[in-house]
Structure 1
Amino acid sequence: MPPPVRRLTVGVEEEFLLVDRRTGMPVARGPRVVDAARAVLEEQAQSEFFGAQVEVCTRPTTRLAELRSELALLRQVMGEAAAGEGCLLVATGTPVIPPGRPPTVTPGERYARMAVRWPSLVGSYDGMVCGCHIHIGVAGREQALALAYHMRPWLPVLQALAANSPFSLGHETGWASRRSVEHTRWPGVGPAPLLDEAGYDRLADHLVRTGTLLDRRMIYWYAPPSEHVPTLEIRLCDMNADLDVVVLLTALVRGLATVLLPEIAEGRPTPTLPESRLRGAHRLAARQGLEGDGFDPVTGESIPAVSSVERLLARAEPGLAAVGDRDLAEELFDRVRRCGGGAARQRASYQRRGRLSDVLGDLVRTTVTARA
């Protein structure tokens, strides 16, 4: 009998927008909302770069049911704190309704330095994007770097599944994930390169020393090793109002990692995928989400985006089964297949009456009513 598979730990960071209760416009009340939420959540409630954003962070866990319950509680507490400041908590990748005034950067020495270094990203709300970052526990940075490279071909599939920002600043953008487009304006965003730990340290030091990045925390690769905890961080997903989508994404990340890590230990070669094709796959995922063409990570052929998720499920199936997540992942994906992804749901909300307020209202209700 084979030895039992070790359950990898998982954790999630969720970034939210704060909008005015009456107008739906982004409002810079983040520091006050975080202060109120910390009475319950302590350090699990955090400020973000822009004052109209807040973040919550789960504790590491090995069980998805526990992760889901904690995320539901974090959303509930943060939503109540937002209501106390006259605003609403919204889980989406980009602001739906345009603001009434220029954005405000959250006070703090590091954020102030970033604002001075990259003023073009601060002068408008285009850079205000909200992501969902999934952490998977690893043995150390060397393992995280190897896992990141082996996961590269599958990350556009996760990006398509998570797409949830077709509206931005009052416009239908034509993208399923406009966040993906705007996020690339920040330095350091893109696929992770193939590096060992020594190579990572050299590159990170070079990027900081030359001023390309402010510090190592600005290594915004789609799958970077964390700088403060022993995890690989998948950080290319849009923030989703539907908590089941977040749980599904986390299940797929862990299932795939559970399959890949033994292959890496056996010395199997890294996948060969031209950089141009990989970036094209990411652009296609951002443009079409689940509604159009996708990309087969093995053959490189164009296939329906939903079929690419099915192939990811099949690739991750042994890992999902080994930790007891297979039935849950299949159930949650079947629900997405029937009801549509986040981008499709936002567009359906708009088509009812042609009002952005309907889009925002549905997002707000879904964000804070997730069952534990």
Structure 2
Amino acid sequence: MGATCSTGSTAGRYESTTPTVGVEEEFILVDPTSWLPSTDNAAVAETASTLGLDLQLELSRCQVETNSPVCQSIDELRTHLIDMRRLAAKAAELNGCRLLAVGAPLSGPSRFEISDSPRYRQMGEHFGALAAEQSICGCHIHVGVADQVEAVQVCNHVRIWLPALLALSANSRIHQGVDTDFASWRAIQWSRWPVAGPPPYFETAGDFDTAVAKMVDCGVMLDKRMAYWDIRPSCHLPTVEIRVCDVQPTVDDTVLLAALVRALVATALRAVERGVVAPRTSLENLRLATWVSAKEGVLGASIDPVTTQRISATEQLHRLLIHVRDSLDETGEYTSVESALRDKCVTGGGSDWQQRTLRQVCLRKLIARAVERTVPTGTDTHDGSTPDQ
């Protein structure tokens, strides 16, 4: 949810030409007997602290969130993500539940208790059922951009690629035991917030600040932290925060997204430095493309938000890869990212796995297998899982 805007130092200022990167991952806690969501996140977070992990509470009491440190490289990020998932899973097990990386609960009721914190209680009182039904999990990627003026322009450049990132990351097809026919049901639920989804094009940082202040003044947001757009200048860190993605089923999936997102921001930074103006794609086109990506996922159709041309999601991802190739070449990541994307375009993402698995086994076994995929195994620092494990 990111309602607290996170207290961890997810990413920060960078000294090299390659920006830093950090990731927030949100998870569902489930009971290993009933496989229903477990609403004891405070106890799990307290246990995690004894293990050396600062595990954040989320809006719903069945959710927790990890925040990575500032990372200079994708390999460093991978190591932290593996460690954090393992520690969070251990804290969950010590409290009789399990950690689950899905964008929306696979089973359970439509509403959950709000976490016991002043801010979350205030959100529950102000937004009612909207808050109670938001037990959804995202993957928020922070990339270091120290200057807000620059950050707003970076957002303008990156916003046209948000639907492609959503299609790639979709991991919430099954919800409450039912196939929703949407690859990212989380994105559909998330869009109900008054300030969510793709952001407008902002001419200046001042325009961004003015728009946020107006929405706070008119009462649709409690404060600026509730500007829940799919990309935004972070409200408390010197970063651009990309919030469009579902939480990923495996660490390798998260790492792929982080590498792509960092390359997108690095590419945008160079364009801003050269004085290149971002495409002024309309908000209507972006909303259309985002909805189609939420519906179709990585193996379905896509809408190019600039031309409104109907293409495949895989073609859109191919265009994205070409767009960021120079940035990936600079970090030596192009080959690994290209290979991982090629695999995704064949096997699909988390939502495709959910759909295939539910056709083969019952819901309880689906949840159990999804739990197994969530936590890296083995003693090395590489997840090693494949998209269909």
**Is TM more than 0.5 here?**
yes
1:110 alignment partner in structure 2: 119
CA–CA separation in structure 2 for the residues paired with 1:69 and 1:121: 36
For 1:205 and 1:42, locate their aligned partners in 2 and report how far apart those are by CA, in whole Å.
35
- 1:23-102 matched pairs, under 5 angstroms: 23-43=34-54, 45-99=55-109
Counterpart for residue 9 of structure 2: none
**Partner AA of 2:59 in structure 1:** F
Aligned residues of 1:25 and 1:98 also touching (Cα < 8 A): yes
| Alpha-carbon distance in 2 for matches of 1:363, 1:134 | 22
Corresponding residue number in structure 2 for 1:121? 130
Q: Does 1:339 align with 2:339?
A: no
Deviations 1:5-54 (A, max 9, x none): 711100000000001110111111101101111123343x1111111000
1:41 match: secondary structure: coil
Deviation at 1:298, TM superposition (A): 5.1
Letter in 2 for 1:38: S
Question: Once the 2 structures are TM-superposed, how far is the Cα of residue 295 of structure 1 from its aligned partner?
Answer: 2.6
Match of 1:270 in 2: 278
After TM superposition, the structure 1 = structure 2 runs for residues 208-227 of structure 1, keeping only pairs within 5 Å, are 208-227=216-235
Alignment CA distance shift 1:194-1:111 (3 Å):
same
Structure 1 residue 133, shift from structure 2 partner? 0.2
Does the C-alpha gap of structure 1 residues 366 and 151 become closer, same or farther in structure 2, counting only changes over 3 Å?
Answer: same
Given that residues 157 and 295 in structure 1 are in contact (C-alpha distance below 8 angstroms), is that contact kept between their aligned partners in structure 2?
no
> Residue 6 of structure 1 is aligned with which of 17, 27, 45?
17
Matches within 5 A, 1:197-236: 197-236=205-244
Q: Which of 28, 46, 63 pairs up with 1:17?
A: 28
How far 1:327 sits from its partner (Å)?
Answer: 1.4
Distance in 1 (CA, whole Å) between partners of 2:282 and 2:208 is 21
Q: Deviations over 1:154-173 (max 9, x none)?
A: 11000000000001112110
Q: How far apart are 1:297 and its partner, in Å?
A: 4.8
Counterpart for residue 316 of structure 2: 308
**Is the contact between residue 173 and residue 354 of structure 2 (CA under 8 Å) also seen in structure 1?**
yes
Which residue, 144, 152, 155 being the options, matches 1:145? 152
Aligned AA (2:126) = R
Q: In 1, distance between residues paired with 2:286 and 2:211? A: 21
Cα distance in 2 for residues equivalent to 1:245 and 1:267: 33
In 1, the alpha carbon distance for the partners of 2:231 and 2:157 equals 10
* Amino acid of the structure 1 residue aligned with 2:120: Y
The answer for unaligned runs of 5 or more in structure 2 is 1-14, 382-389
Letter in 1 for 2:28: L
Matched letter for residue 108 of structure 1 = S
Contact 2:138 2:244 in 1 (8 A): yes
Query: Partners in 2 of 1:258 and 1:188 — Cα distance?
Result: 26
Structure 1 position 335, deviation (Å): 2.7
| TM-score of the superposed pair, with normalisation by structure 1 | 0.94
| 1:356 to 2:363 alignment | yes
Work out whether residues 5 and 322 of structure 1, in 8 Å CA contact, stay in contact via their aligned partners in 2.
no
Paired letter, 1:360: I
- Once the two structures are superposed, residues 343-365 of structure 1 have per-residue CA deviations (whole angstroms, 9 ceiling, x without a partner) of 11111111113x11122112100
- Maintained 8 Å contact 2:29/2:62: yes
The size of the alignment, in residue pairs, is: 364
Change (3 A) 1:111 1:335: same
Note if contact 1:92-1:164 (Cα within 8 Å) is conserved in structure 2. Answer: yes
For 2:111 and 2:297, locate their aligned partners in 1 and report how far apart those are by CA, in whole Å: 30
Counterpart of 2:375 in structure 1 is 368
Q: 1:131 aligns with which of 130, 133, 138?
A: 138
Indicate whether 1:244 and 2:244 are aligned.
no
Q: What amino acid does structure 2 have at the position aligned with 1:130?
A: C
Q: Relative to 1, partners in 2 of residues 1:347 and 1:39: Cα closer, same or farther, differing over 3 Å? A: same
**In the alignment, which of 287, 291, 299 is matched to residue 283 of structure 1?**
291
Selected match of 1:193 from 197, 200, 212: 200
How far apart, CA to CA, are the structure 2 residues paired with 1:335 and 1:292? 15
Q: Which amino acid aligns with 2:115?
A: T
SS at structure 1 position matched to 2:66: strand
Q: Which secondary structure state, in structure 1, belongs to the residue aligned with residue 229 of structure 2? A: coil
Q: Which runs of 5+ in 1 are unaligned?
A: none
* CA RMSD, Structure 1 to Structure 2 (Å): 1.6
**What one-letter code is carried by the residue in structure 2 that aligns with 1:331?**
S
* Letter of the 1:308 counterpart: Q
Does the 8 Å CA contact 2:22/2:141 hold for their aligned counterparts? yes
Structure with greater proportional helix content: 1
Structure 1 CA distance for aligned equivalents of residues 240 and 368 of structure 2 = 34
Task: Give the partner amino acid of 1:63.
Answer: S
Task: State the alpha-carbon separation in 1 of the partners of residues 270 and 305 from structure 2.
Answer: 19
1:245: how far off?
A: 1.4
SS at match of 1:115: helix
